[in-house]
Amino acid sequence: MSKSLVADPPPPAPPSRTGPRRSGPPPGGRAGSRLGAILSYVAGALLIVVGVGFGFVAYRMIAQHETFSNALSHTFPPYVPSPSTVFGKDRIYVLVLGIDFNYDAKDQLYTKDARSDTILVAGIDFPSKSMKIVQVLRDTEATINGHDTKINEAYSDGGVKLADQTIGQFLGMPKNENGTYFDRYVVINPNGLRDFVDAVGGIDVPVTEQMDYDDTWGHLHIHFKPGLVHMNGEQAMGYTRFRHDACSDPCRTKRQQQVMRILMAKLKADKINDLLHVGALLGALNRNVRTNLTFDEEKSIAWSFRDANLADLSRMETIGYVDTKETPWAGEVLIPDEAQKERLVAGLLGAYGTTTPAPAGAVAAVKPATIHVVVENGSGIAGLAGTVAQKLQAQGYLVDSIRNADSFTYDTTQIRPASNAPLVGERVRSDLGVADALVTPATDATPGAHPIVTVIVGRDYASAQAAASQASAAPTSSAAPH
C-alpha cells in the first residue's frame, strides 16, 4: 500500500494575481520564507502558552541533577494559580506575528523592516481549555498611515503597536482594559520552524506528490518523493514553503496546516521525549520568539493545559477573499470576504466548547472489515507489530503491510487515520485495548475507496498487554460454602 494517500485534497486555485508587487523578488526567491513558516509561528506560540513550563522541569533535572518530583515541585509549586486568576479574566487574545526575512548582497540574512507575513489571532479560553485561531492573509487590503496597502505592512511601519491597532480594527475586535485589541503578543522570526523541528527530533510527514525545486539565492532546495518522510528542520521548512504545484499558495497553506498539526500531535504524544530535548527547545524559543507573556503567565497556562485535548487546540480558519485590486502603493491586494470575516470573528469572540468524546455506540458501529491497516513497529520490541497485526486481523481488519517505523523510540502508540471517514481511528484504538493511544486528528484525506489507518506500535502496547495478562492470571476468590 502506498503512503502517498495522506494529505488534504488540493483546494481550488485562487484568482490570478499577476499585478505588481510593492518591492522585492517573488516568493520562494530572495524574499525568504514569505508565509512559508506559518506552522512554526503557531507551534512556537502553542509551546509558549501550553508547554514551556515543563521545559524548566527538565532543565532542573538535567542542569541541577534533581529528581523529577523535586524539579516538578520547584517549577510548579503545590499551588499554581489558575490562568483566570493570573490574567484576571477567563480568556485572552494573543496576536501572533511571523516576520519575513531577506538576503543582502553579501548573502547575509536580515530582518530589518520585516513585515508580518503571517498573522494569526489566537483566543485562549481557560475554563474550557480550548483555543481558536483565525488567520489573516498577508496581502489583505488595509489602510495604514493614510494609504491603501497590504495589512502585513503594519508591523514594518510601526512594530507591534501599529500591528495591534491595524489588525484589531480590521477584525472589529473590542479593546481591552489596557486600550489594546490583544492581551498579549508573540513575534517569531523566520527560523522558528527549522530550530523547533530539530529540537523535537524531527517529524514524520506524509508527502503526496513529487516535489523538486531549487533556489540557490533563497537557500531553498526541496526534493521529496511520495511517502512517509522523516524530516529535519531544514526539510520541514522547505516542505512548507513549496508552492510550485497545481494550486500554488492554497496547497502550500494546506501543507503548512498539516505540518502544524503533526507537530502539535508529537508534542502531545511524546512529552517525556521532548523534555529530554529541553536545552534545544529553550534555545529555539530564545533565538526565535519575542513575547510579552511573563514566565508566571506561561507557567500557569502550561500547568492548566497540560491535559488539554489536542483537537481543542487545533481549530484554525483563514479569512478568505472575494476579489483583488491594484493599488498605487502596494500593487495587488486582496479584498477580504467580509461575511466570512464577520462569522469567524463572532466565533472567536463567542462561546468556546470542548470536543465531545465519540459515543461508544457510534464507535462500535464502525465496521473493521472496511478498514485497511498498516502496522509499524515503533517500540523496538521484536515481533510486536506482528502481534498487533494478528490481533487486528482476528477482529476483521484488512492488514495491508507490517514493517518497522522510522525509529524505535515511540513510547505512545499512534493511530493515524489517512481518511475523513468518521471514528475509524477511535474504533482501532478501542480494539487495540490501549486507551491512551494517540489518534491524530483526521486532517489528512484519502481519495481512495476505503479508509486507511497507520498504527505505529509503541511501548505502551506491551505494557497494556502485560497488565491485561496479569489481571487475567490473578486467582479469583471461590464462592463461600452454603
**285 and 412 together in one domain:** no
**198 and 294 together in one domain:** yes
CATH number for the domain spanning 230: value is 3.40.630.190
The C-alpha cell 486481523 sits at 393
**184 and 281 together in one domain:** yes
452 confidence band (pLDDT: 50, 70, 90): confident
pLDDT at residue 40 in the model: 44
pLDDT at 75 over 90: no
Domain-ending residue, one of 328, 349, 370: 349
pLDDT at residue 259 in the model: 82
Please write the tens of the pLDDT for every residue from 91-149. 999 999 988 766 556 655 555 668 887 888 999 999 888 899 998 988 899 999 889 99
Residue 331's DSSP bridge partners are 21, 327
d(CA 222, CA 212): 5
- What total number of domains does the chain contain? 2
96 in a domain, yes or no? yes
CA dihedral 305, 308, 311, 315 (to 10 degrees): -30
> Containing domain of residue 463, as a range?
360-469
Please write the tens of the pLDDT for every residue from 87-100. 999 999 999 998 87
- Asked if 263 and 196 touch (Cβ cutoff 8 Å), the reply is yes
**441 and 335 together in one domain:** no
**126 and 85 together in one domain:** yes
**Element containing residue 252 per DSSP (H, E):** helix 249-269
pLDDT at residue 482 in the model: 38
**422 and 449 together in one domain:** yes
Domain-ending residue, one of 349, 380, 395: 349
**134 and 197 together in one domain:** yes
**246 and 374 together in one domain:** no
**321 and 396 together in one domain:** no
Q: What is the pLDDT averaged over residues 15-19?
A: 39
- Asked if 195 and 233 touch (Cβ cutoff 8 Å), the reply is yes
**Element containing residue 336 per DSSP (H, E):** strand 331-336
**Which has the closest alpha carbon to 28: 214, 226, 190, 273?**
214
**Would you say the pTM of this structure is higher than 0.85?**
no
Task: Between 425 and 69, name the one with better pLDDT.
Answer: 425
Domain-ending residue, one of 330, 349, 368: 349
Cell of 288: 526565535
Please write the tens of the pLDDT for every residue from 23-54. 333 333 333 333 333 444 444 455 444 445 55
CATH number for the domain spanning 430: value is 3.30.70
Burial class (CB within 10 angstroms; exposed 0-12, middle 13-18, buried 19+) of 22: middle
462 in a domain, yes or no? yes
373 in a domain, yes or no? yes
**285 and 364 together in one domain:** no
Residue 394's DSSP bridge partners are none
Lowest mean pLDDT among 128-137, 288-297, 307-316, 360-369: 307-316
pLDDT at 415 over 60: yes
Please write the tens of the pLDDT for every residue from 281-290. 666 666 788 8
24 in a domain, yes or no? no
